[in-house]
Amino acid sequence: MTAACAVATLTMGLAASTALAQTPSWCGPNEASLALLDGFGGNSWRLVTTASGAEEAAKCPSITQYEYADGQGDTQKAISDINSMAARGIKAMVVFGDAGPAVLPALTNAHRAGTIVVPYRVNVGGTEGENYAKFIGSSFFEDGVSWGNWIKEILPEGGNLLFLSGPAGNSQGTDELAGMKSVLDDKYVFINPEPFAVTNWDPSLTQQVLSAEIAKNDKIDVIVSDFGPSLVGALPVFAEFGRSIPALATSDGNSLSCFWEENKEANPDFKLFTVATGNDNVRLAVQWAVALATGGTPPTDEIFKAPVYENSVSGTPNPVTCRPDLPGSIYLSAEMADDAQAKAVGQ
């Protein structure tokens, strides 16, 4: 993909007939341009999240120009995209800073040049007001609390836990672990290397890591993972060891829910608890950026709170929900309509 293609203009289709009553309070009267920038935009989660960001921006008729750039996992390209958007005079930018503090100097330069910069979800360092206008985080600590409380319900006497997260040192995993440890006492033993087993959220590496942990540990009562769909290809490894899939506390995805439906009878220990995977984090970041750019009223929330989504034990707030008629690579917890998600992931 060329840089020109990656920075493709998305048609907003802003209808002049948008009724005033439908305009959200965070959309002010001043016209502005908005850009959404990814450090890496190539998996299904990002495709749905990117489409969600565009959908949210389209609610505001004051946004007259919308741009998108994908850093394609290349930190230098991500930095170049930020610099390019600022040089073009884009009024506001929402940034998923996959490279963390490596993109902070570019964000700071854009902020000081007058662009409204709103990084979200990934900690890029820096300080609000000095390096960017607003940082919109996610409640990863609370996700850990939710997982920990469910684990206490299904294993009141304690047990062995295996925690899988993304790249080494990622702040999401360390925050989730802190949340779990805030509610779990010493009866619950984490058998993985501290602070978590590294998977890079990559299905192939996840399978390698899980195989190694099964071989090392005769007893795994619960697997905790912060990207549930990445486990679908790895969980059949338990059958190769003649063992039931254990309970799983994770984030939702249609492929995972359908896997649970297909395998629950053969795996009596396979309970499933999910929190929303968080595609809608981008919507809160867009609302903040648009409010600051157009003179609207900023949202009251500054952190995205992922709600509990599925619980196979209680069925509350939702039972495990599989939609076999839809692609596995969509997320039923997301606000975006299911068919729109299917279109976003190209199916």
User: Residues with Cβ < 8 Å from 303, sequence gap 6 or more?
Assistant: 136, 137, 138, 139
pLDDT at 10: 43
* Torsion over CA: 180, 184, 188, 193 (sign): positive
Distance of alpha carbon 116 from alpha carbon 107, whole angstroms = 10
pLDDT at 14: 42
**Residue bearing tokens 């995209």:** 81
User: Residues with Cβ < 8 Å from 208, sequence gap 6 or more?
Assistant: none
DSSP annotation of 299: P
pLDDT at 194: 92
8 A C-beta contact, residue 204 and residue 228 = no
Q: What is the DSSP string of 7-63?
A: TPBPP----TT--GGGS-TT--SS-EEEEEEES---SHHHHHHHHHHHHHHTT-TTE
How many distinct helices (H) and strands (E) make up the chain?
Answer: 11, 13
H/E segment holding residue 267: none
DSSP annotation of 306: P
Distance of alpha carbon 111 from alpha carbon 188, whole angstroms = 45
pLDDT at 11: 40
Distance of alpha carbon 24 from alpha carbon 46, whole angstroms = 25
H/E segment holding residue 249: strand 247-251
User: Residues with Cβ < 8 Å from 187, sequence gap 6 or more?
Assistant: 157, 158, 159
pLDDT at 21: 52
DSSP annotation of 91: S
pLDDT at 170: 80
| Cβ density class 276-294: b for 16+ within 10 Å, e for less | bbbbbbbbbbbbbbbbbbb
Distance of alpha carbon 108 from alpha carbon 218, whole angstroms = 50
Distance of alpha carbon 105 from alpha carbon 144, whole angstroms = 31
Distance of alpha carbon 120 from alpha carbon 304, whole angstroms = 9
Distance of alpha carbon 104 from alpha carbon 180, whole angstroms = 30
Distance of alpha carbon 252 from alpha carbon 345, whole angstroms = 16
Summarised one tens digit per residue, pLDDT across range 264-322 is 999 999 999 999 999 999 999 999 999 999 999 999 999 999 999 999 999 999 999 99
Predicted confidence pLDDT, tens digits, the chain (347 residues): 333 334 344 444 444 444 445 899 999 999 999 999 998 888 888 899 999 999 999 999 999 999 999 998 899 999 999 999 999 999 999 999 988 899 999 999 999 999 999 999 988 999 999 999 999 999 999 999 999 999 999 999 999 999 999 878 788 899 999 999 999 999 999 999 999 999 888 888 988 999 999 999 999 999 999 989 889 989 999 999 999 999 999 999 999 999 999 999 999 999 999 999 999 999 999 999 999 999 999 999 999 999 999 999 999 999 999 999 999 999 999 999 999 999 999 88
Q: Are strands 247-251 and 222-225 parallel, antiparallel or unpaired?
A: parallel
